[in-house]
Chains A and B, each alone.
Chain A
Amino acid sequence: MRLEKHASSLVDYTQPLSFVFNNKAYKGFKGDTLASALVANDVLYYARSFKYGRKRGIIGAGVEEPNALVSLEIGGRYTPNMKATEIMLYDGLSAVSSSNPHSIDFRAMIKPLHRFMPAGFYYKTFIKQKVWSIVEDRLRSLSGFSKAPLVTDEDVYDHIFQHTEVLVIGGGVAGMSAALEVLSGSKVARVILVDERENLGGELTNEFTTDQTATLWFQEAKGKLQKYRDEDNSRLKILTSATAYAWYDHNYIEVLQTHGTGQSMIHESGQTARKVLHKIRTKEVILATGAHERPMLFETNDLANIMLSQSVRRYINEFNVVAGKEIVLYGNNDSIYNTAIDLSKHNIKSKVVDVRASGNESEIILEAKKIGIEVFQGFAVLKAKGKSRVTGVEISQVEMQAKPPHWKSKWRITGDTKTINCDLLATSGGFNPVVHLDCHCGGKTYFDETSQSFLPQKERKERQVCGAVNSVGFWKDAMIDAKNKAQLTLSSLGEEVEVTPQKLTNRSHNYFNVDQFFTPLEILNKPKVFIDLQNDVTTLDVALSIREGYQSIEHIKRYTAMGFGTDQGKTGNINGIAVAAEFLDAPMSEVGTTTFRPAYTGVDFGAMAGREVGDFFDPQRFTTIHDSHVNSGAKFEVVGQWYRPWYYPKNGEDIHQAVNRECRAVRSSLGMMDASTLGKIDIQGKDAREFLSRVYTNAWMKLAPGSCRYGLMCNEKGMIIDDGVSTCINDHHFIMTTTTGGAASVYSTLEMWLQTEWSHLDVHLSSVTDQFSTVAVVGPNARKLMNKLCPDVDFDSKSFKFMQWRPGTVCGVEARIMRISFSGELAYEINIAANYGRFIWDEVAREGQEWNITPYGTESMHVLRAEKGFIIVGQDTDGSMTPMDVNMNWILAKNKPFSYIGRRSFSVSALNSNDRLQLVGLLTKDDQVVLPEGAHIISNKGISIGYVTSSYYSPVLGRSIALAQLKGGLSKMSETVLVKIVQEKQGLKEIPCEVSSSVFYDINGEKVDGNE
């Protein structure tokens, strides 16, 4: 119901807005939240409950709301699980309930069964009966709230890094005061003020109706803040509709900001984005996060139109709406009287039920009585009446029986029950300080008896707490508290301030004078006393958990699901702890809280990803030859971050046809490949040679200038980490090549040895991967082409031998030509300055036409190298393979004076066991069957004894070949083993294979000199 406009309302009646909720059209106004507009339209039901399918209404007015979850918009702008209380209304808004209260679904149908379904029901019922696999799918479809989005998010999200001296979290009276105090007390300290609501002021707006001084203070403070910001926007940033949801190490705090309406916003860097994730690093934090009200507990406390008292108050004051006409307020502290008085200002009658006995009354109670509000002191609500919505309450007189020396006073219900009719019940069981953020990164809480709440630990480095989160409720006191704390912050920043703490007024209607939790067992033992509305957790679930031995609050939480879900128990959790304390007969402080972890509220995946989606997900690296590959119609694969040609299909070939053609060309005439992506490290210095012989397993001292050598690199554990060819330019200058994917980590490892252990060696490393382009010319006719391209080098195999290099001029470009081979064929790698890559590639292609030169990609390269049994580190090895395991004992130098990296490990007995996985070849008995890579080799007992690491069809051999890691494989030559594979239709199949040498082609290496 909409009320008459009044001064403190933020709703603008001159700007009506239309929106759709659950397929029905409604009207609201600018300044409304979706929730307040729906309350104005007398919408009662927002959700069907998670487990029991009960219809649920709205409870809160902000971030604490557990029930009114909606999916906003559709298609590319669809956002699931938003709280209706946090969405600012805009024209044309369209939302549906996350679980529609009006549909008769499976959940609604099982509702009558709910009393047979306590916590743990599904697990106990189905897992023990071994039918879980049958029912799992059905049950999973019932779980969760909104449906996941189906299409790509069409919005853009941004990240902004912020650095500041002081971050004030919470823009209510405490946060505003603290920010002003810091700004006036320091000339340099930068401040960021963050609040989750669209407007500053927090709960202070509730005072505007009754307290003129509050309005005046607010206007003045807001004006001052705006002035600071406008004068120097590096001094103060005000982020509204922005939630600080996580506090990580070293004061790194993440804040998610949205346009209040959920529409796109233009943020401070001038870009448009749906939401902005601020990554804030701050020196000091001032927490002014306020408190959430908690409800009272009674039977069927989940009916629609049972709300929180402070929320009812906010709906009237801020939005001019109220959800009922006959209102009962029920609670254990003075805040319910404020709500009653505010209601009376709108001529709405209410009755107050206060569990506290009469006598010793505060001003506010006297004031309420004076204006004729009917007050039942020493009474409690035992039960809410009504089917799906509240129609009345059963109340009864209660009595507190203090039982010293017992830790907790007990309640007793006395007298008869009577019924009061109502259509709205608003309750307040006290306030839970929002300690979440403070606990994310090591902060502890303690239980405070006066406020009956968990408060943040008093002292913490680089952090202050003030206002309601510090159990200071009265707004003028929050202001004083904030000033006091801001002075401490200033002094911690090194400002010369006089820290002169002012005393709080301690006005009597401090909301934090809360009576003991009203949790008599007569009520807790009734069914349908809900603690956590979002997860349908009742008091009896907690009792069951405790009975079954799950007594730690962390166990109770997980057994019952209390405090899970999108609201993370903001209203229910502390009540749950109180209930557990009652059943356990233990003090609250001993029961303690569950652990608060990030995130405080839901964070969109889109916001986390920011702009790092699509093409920006990962950096993409291209060689200078890339465009030529594209023109040739290459298909690419990503290796590391490089886009490497995978194969070059011609005339509609598939990958197999293309690879067969490419391989045949290389073996019979001439192929060419872009090898620019291999990592290249330039190594210079007097001790370069010594350095290589320390990090590689083989000998380097005698490698002459003009020569190249293959090296295998291990770590100290003796495991292979990389391989590649290094070239001796001169005695003090080498160029090492690494695997494409391993370049960065090898470089980093080499630097580590040089910087941390061998700083006395004269060696300097520089990554030159991007400085050179490499074109490999491969095949028996390679020499003929090289003679044509490079007349100033003698390519005769007697003078330019395998594993040598020569400087030369290729098509007029200065080049280093290495005669090395990864295919077993005669091959030359032409290295030129990177920018000549495309030119040389195209020249090689043109001049090579005579021999039908064929560009080939990584797939053919793999086939060619596998035919020769050359390993690929990372494919045929996995970080647990020694050189012995891959049958490369020949590369382990015996007589190097320095015990090279990994050497000592080779003599450890475990690494010499015959039982290790060893690299072998596998030949399928049916030579046309190509094994899938990763398939396991199984023993006759069906246990894995190894797996296939590389597997291809070899066109030159006309059969399949595979490399595999097999237990004790090197002593199993010619034996038959079984490889288990899954076939698409026929299911599992065992393929017999013969264990063979890993060299399949040109076993004696006769091809490496090519054709003369």
Chain B
Amino acid sequence: MSGWFCPEVLLVLAGVVLILADSLVADGKKGWLPKLALVISFALLGWTLWGAGQPMPTSWGNLFVTDGLSLVFQPFFVLCLVGVTFMSVRYPMGKEEVVRAEFLALPFFSTAGLCLLASARDFLAIFLALELVAISLYLLAAFHRSRAASLEAGMKLLVMGGLSTGFLVMGIAWLYAATGSTDFSKILLDQAGRPASLAFLLAVGLILTGLAFKIAAVPFHAWAPDVYEGAPTPITSFLAIASKAAGFVLLLRVFGLGAFALDSVAVVFRPVLLTLGIATVTLGTLAALPQRNLKRYLAYSGIAHAGYMLLAFGTLGEAGMGTLVGYLWVYLLSSFPVFIFILEMERVHGSADLRHLDGLGQRDPGVALGLALCFLSMAGLPPLLGFSAKLSVFTTLWNAGEVPGLVVGVVMAVVGLGFYLMPIRAMYWEREADSIPAQRFPAFLVWILLMAGFFQLFLGLQPRPLVRLVERSLAPTSSSLFPEK
């Protein structure tokens, strides 16, 4: 089997096939296109899981590497794609149905870029892959050309994304000036064992700033809530999860494993990362409290989660990196079901306002239970999955002796429980059964959410598969995800 069948190539091909199919099929007969996209994305997910370990084509030179990290995050991103495509099938497009194929195909290109990011080992490759992701997302966020909120979202994403790319490119330029290379291993060799020059540190700082935009870390977070609210919900989920994860994977690549894994960098940037983390956790949690729109609410919750991940990663040890990888998976598993729910809520009620949750516990007990478990998991309540993630963050900080981060993390976890209890309160004790409209959610939603809730519980009690995933992700060699097969 040739290495040309790697997920990145197949993803791009699938996107092209979708666009071709759209232009070849007559109007009015395109109803099966979304389903085709869904089938393809599922097939690709199976392919990444089964074919994991396929080395990348050698002709791509030194730009990419296949190691544990890329093996673990390719399925992650393709899983996000499956979710987005699934939501797109359910997404009401209205009059803009004529351009539907692009809405389906662009996430494929974006995912291809994400998979490339996960395996990049050269700043040029990072730049190219990041632009592939970002440009697709600009288009997708502004997809509702007639809706002002969507256009605003696209515009904000474009400007902010452009700004962050600017920082990144500037950083890469300074890096090249300081070290004479953009290749991770060459930079490492060049810089190892000597004090970092000012130019080098400036480059690192600029690149960190660029990445901080991507993960919506405070103070580079302001775009996130508006964009999340305005963008079409499937795209919101992709932005919130896949795009944020991409930023963190890059942090891992660059600061954890790759070019900047140097003592001279750590001395300067460990406090910076931890401070970013403290600010992000605090602001994300506190600003979430007054939110009344579920999409904005999740945006701030995502910012808070990013803060925890930054805190763990900021210790710049192996434990912190492992925690980050695990936390990203936990974040995916607990927030994606909520996004699927938001989409259905918008279909039924017309908006993502928190008050539509009132009385859900009696109207749709299954949906409410699943949702409650997801929220509590995000809050980090044992024995749910999110607790393992928080526990891991706290243990990492404890062992690194980072008292300020630890204190802020604990206090904000308590405040966080307060804001994750808000929807639960709305669902279970806000309104009595007789005052509830009789609108119902589709049956499959119950199963999805119950399954998600069960997953939170099961993996929370037995996170062994996740821990193995983390271990694999930090392993340097490229071997299959499932070694026993």
Are A and B bound to each other? no
Query: Which residues from chain B sit less than 8 Å from chain A, CB to CB?
Result: none
Query: Which residues from chain A sit less than 8 Å from chain B, CB to CB?
Result: none
